[in-house]
Structure 1
């Protein structure tokens, strides 16, 4: 990682307090693209392209099939203004499927006289046939006090993921830790010192819109993150730490570090920052928020769910009928999985199904921590699983992060209290760059078995200790076989499993 200069820190601070301040002269007469470029929500014919300027400017883009930019197509993007913290997105469209696309981005001042230095990147559009597909997933970034450490090269798991050359990346939630301030140094139990880059937004819990914006700006100060984002499209979802730990709609905080106690107010600010700073196409989301789906060739369709925005209170009874998806989203999910013609239906979930995730004496996750019939939020998942089984929907794989270790869970009615479902796999992988925890207890309601677990011996181990993780899915285009690799933060495969498609009539 390159040295972080005073100018970089000033730029990061500006991201949390608007763009140009009255009476403050810019160091350069040209606009500057401050936080790199990103693509996301990739389809057969394009992707969303994102960037940010340090002052009001017009986003201009060239796209081409080769890195020399011969025969480039020039596109006029939006004006980047303080209304969106200088960020802007352009949907690249009308591209051929299954091809590599190179792009070059500049910011032009509003008089059209000068332009920023250009930033470049590339991505691959989704194929239409039986192509090989590789993608990665993980979550949990800059949590528990472990931020960008220039002494160790920064967030190096991103570099390991880039080395795997994935077609896309599912960011499984906790994309930032808005509720976890950073300190400049942390002394480890063995006497070593972890050193964090700290910006003004990361020095306190986020409450204002600009402070939430600064959470996303922080991660993009890391060289590894920017290099990865410039070449690998992201499919982003959110969980709790984009707002505050274990939040649910309607919650009123009692935490003393917050002056704004209404979680709904905080969530609205975080949601705006999330959509400004992530390369998300809100038009693809069913209700304009987060849940949406993407096909990637004949073999893959990804269903991104939101288990945060519609859930009931963590204080709700553990029995009865609870909510984690909401009726509309649950119906969208089962109908979409039923209609899908993909060999593999991938459900990208921000919470694991069978792991008990407590919130003090209450329940944060889906599993209620009790044996026997489904209770609380388990009811809604039981309804989803039952409907899929009765409709004959096969080859559904669940991917998640959240619990800060990696594991492979096999669910079977042969071991379950609730038996009206077909066996399926759930794969957990994280954290990408945060404290390592686990393992969590398994709730027996849906008959999970922990086939593989890699978890730390004690809580909140730093990224130095080897318990950072990401998952990789490889699908063979010819056979349709799906192989999952659970990898450590250096890219080493810790465990692998190949799944074969079910027989089709």
Structure 2
């Protein structure tokens, strides 16, 4: 009996030892003393860190790990290592694609800060600068500071296994290096910031995987780490090509959008509509998908593009705004009068209504920034009795370029010398005293070579 009990005890002890061994993660290593070592923090980093919105009293930051981890940001004023501050620690989870939104809220207006990413309490060493800034308190004190921002749309990152056969559609990833070299204060991602494929847009798993795949592009990381980022979506990051309000998985892609971007607000429960200010300028981020009727629907009052409540909010917000320049950011071209592809002109009734509302409200300083078309061009719509409406289309970043149709180039709205049919980005600068602000537009190709430049004075938009 004693021997039986001894054998039984031995079996139990052996099973316990095996179970304990099995519970040590595969990625863990064992030290000479037999203590499991932690995984190096850099090996847990999937993408980011990314700097999100900036305000005077807080700045948003974002990071993604590749498995559950505790993440935190340590930051200090540039050139002053002490005192240093810590954001709250966030635990990443698989159900939210291991993403984390962090908030630096011990900041002062008009300051630049350096920061470090901590994973599991350990610093992650990165081979590029990690900085952010807070917005200035200039009102009632000085003229607004000069600033500049990048603009781009249509970011396609190849994945051979699921892409269409043939010549890869994405290329020129060095464009993000060229963009980062310009050191913009912030970046406007104006739609198609990732391209869902057939294997993606029918499942939450597919959507989150696609967002992760694009965000993980190595060439993109230095730009994300030190440039504030704001985004809207268009059809490809919303759903399938040319998708509209009928897309069946739009709550899922909205969830993904909010997980991967750090915009300061969302006006509605559905869609990506929002707004932000930078110095004396305001940016109105519009959603051209969530409320959009099908392109093929006959034109008329029921054929909506932005939809009734978004249109009402936009006009109200523009009326309230005191901004010098009021940038309306959306995917499809607005000013182009050609009723083709997904231009706003295909929705002629609503387009006319918007233009009439802008005229009747006598709102100064309005201009549009758009993407979608895989080429860059500046267009100008003259309006009797008031100032012209400009529409700057900037596209593509890494997707395949495309030329406009010949009949489009014959439109009176086209400004000569502004067509670019290579991969490119925009760099916009606002400068000058408050009573004479000037918007400078420059367009660069993927190598960082300037292709054209134009100035637009605020006085011209009154």
Match of 1:91 in 2: 103
Match of 2:277 in 1: 295
Match of 2:332 in 1: 351
CA contact (8 A) 1:412 1:424 kept: yes
Partner secondary structure for residue 41 of structure 1: strand
Match of 1:380 in 2: 350
TM-score by length of structure 2 reads: 0.81
Deviation string, structure 1 residues 328-383 (Cα, Å, up to 9, x no partner): 11111111111111111111111111444745xxxx33112xxxxxxxx2322322
Distance 2:260 2:275 in 1: 20
Match of 2:240 in 1: 244
Match of 2:184 in 1: 166
CA displacement at 1:320 relative to structure 2: 4.8
Change (3 A) 1:387 1:288: same
Change (3 A) 1:314 1:172: same
CA contact (8 A) 1:174 1:402 kept: yes
> Which structure would you say has the larger Rg?
2
Match of 1:500 in 2: 457
CA displacement at 1:62 relative to structure 2: 1.1
Superposed CA RMSD in Å reads 2.8
1:391 aligns with 2:361: yes
Return the match for 1:270 from 253, 257, 280.
253
Change (3 A) 1:128 1:273: same
TM-score by length of structure 1 reads: 0.74
1:446-465 paired onto structure 2 within 5 Å? 448-456=413-421
Distance 2:124 2:106 in 1: 26
1:280 aligns with 2:263: yes
Partner secondary structure for residue 388 of structure 1: helix
Match of 2:155 in 1: 141
Change (3 A) 1:470 1:388: same
Distance 2:339 2:93 in 1: 41
Match of 1:482 in 2: 439
**Gapped regions of structure 2 (runs ≥ 5):** 1-22, 30-37, 139-143
Partner secondary structure for residue 345 of structure 2: coil
1:17-166 paired onto structure 2 within 5 Å? 25-26=26-27, 29-30=38-39, 32-66=44-78, 69-108=81-120, 115=122, 117=124, 121-129=130-138, 130-142=144-156, 146=168, 155-166=173-184
Change (3 A) 1:296 1:313: same
Change (3 A) 1:472 1:239: same
Distance 2:295 2:110 in 1: 44
Change (3 A) 1:222 1:502: same
CA contact (8 A) 2:299 2:349 kept: no
Partner secondary structure for residue 63 of structure 1: strand
Change (3 A) 1:221 1:122: same
CA contact (8 A) 2:191 2:331 kept: yes
Change (3 A) 1:143 1:380: farther
CA displacement at 1:55 relative to structure 2: 2.3
1:198-347 paired onto structure 2 within 5 Å? 204-242=199-237, 243-250=239-246, 263-265=247-249, 267-281=250-264, 283-287=265-269, 289-298=271-280, 300-347=281-328
Partner secondary structure for residue 496 of structure 1: strand
CA displacement at 1:78 relative to structure 2: 2.2
1:190-201 paired onto structure 2 within 5 Å? none
Distance 2:415 2:407 in 1: 8
Deviation string, structure 1 residues 88-109 (Cα, Å, up to 9, x no partner): 101323522222122212122x
Change (3 A) 1:455 1:497: closer
**Gapped regions of structure 1 (runs ≥ 5):** 1-21, 109-113, 181-203, 251-262, 369-376, 415-419, 457-466
Match of 1:491 in 2: 448
Change (3 A) 1:27 1:34: farther
Runs of 4+ with >6 A deviation = 441-444
CA displacement at 1:319 relative to structure 2: 4.5
Distance 1:353 1:103 in 2: 39
Partner secondary structure for residue 473 of structure 1: strand
Q: Give the number of aligned pairs.
A: 409
Change (3 A) 1:396 1:287: same
CA contact (8 A) 2:149 2:187 kept: yes
Change (3 A) 1:503 1:275: closer
CA contact (8 A) 2:429 2:440 kept: yes
Partner secondary structure for residue 211 of structure 2: helix
Deviation string, structure 1 residues 163-189 (Cα, Å, up to 9, x no partner): 111000100000001127xxxxxxxxx
1:176 aligns with 2:194: yes
CA displacement at 1:127 relative to structure 2: 2.4
Distance 1:123 1:172 in 2: 21
1:410 aligns with 2:410: no
Distance 1:395 1:381 in 2: 19
